[in-house]
């Protein structure tokens, strides 16, 4: 299997900023549930701090992907749920530590009224495709 192919700006569509409009891949699908800012013991990381929460969420995503034999290079879609869109720069910074600009996946960002616990500021889920 080759790595996913990213198409940041299909003809007739405005160029994407910080994501790819389209990602194609062939292989085994890996779906990672929304990850929260919890450490390995279930303790909250970064209460009130979107940057610390985002770093923990991306570390959790990395660990989940690794458990399935995947890496961030295999990610074709990320979905961000944030309680305030003002947290998106912190999310992008945490993502940049794991995903280089030339491998940006398709992405969606949604502001939500709340997450499962009020202290959670964000949640991120991933879809990856790895060799079958």
Q: How far apart are CA 23 and CA 21, in angstroms?
A: 7
- For 54, the enclosing helix (H) or strand (E) is helix 50-67
What pLDDT is attached to residue 2?
60
Q: pLDDT by residue (tens digit) across 108-118? A: 999 999 999 99
pLDDT tens digit sequence for 79-90? 999 999 999 999
Domains and CATH numbers, the chain: 5-130 (3.30.1330.40)
Q: Are 1 and 27 within 8 A, CB to CB?
A: yes
pTM of the model: 0.92
pLDDT at res. 45? 98
Long-range contacts of 113-116 (CB under 8 A, 24+ apart): 113/83, 114/83, 115/36, 115/81, 115/83, 116/36
Low-confidence ranges of the chain (pLDDT < 50): 1
């Amino acid at each position: 299997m080759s790595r996913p192919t990213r198409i940041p700006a299909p003809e007739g569509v405005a160029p994407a900023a910080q994501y790819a409009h389209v990602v194609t891949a062939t292989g085994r699908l890996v779906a990672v549930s929304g990850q929260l800012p919890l450490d390995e013991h279930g303790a909250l990381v970064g209460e009130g701090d979107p940057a610390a929460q985002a770093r923990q969420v991306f570390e959790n995503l990395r660990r989940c992907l690794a458990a399935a034999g995947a890496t961030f290079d295999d990610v074709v879609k990320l979905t961000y749920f944030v309680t305030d869109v003002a947290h998106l720069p912190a999310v992008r910074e945490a993502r940049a530590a794991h995903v280089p600009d030339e491998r940006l996946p398709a992405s969606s960002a949604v502001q939500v009224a709340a997450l499962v616990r009020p202290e959670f500021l964000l949640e991120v889920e991933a879809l990856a495709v790895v060799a079958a």
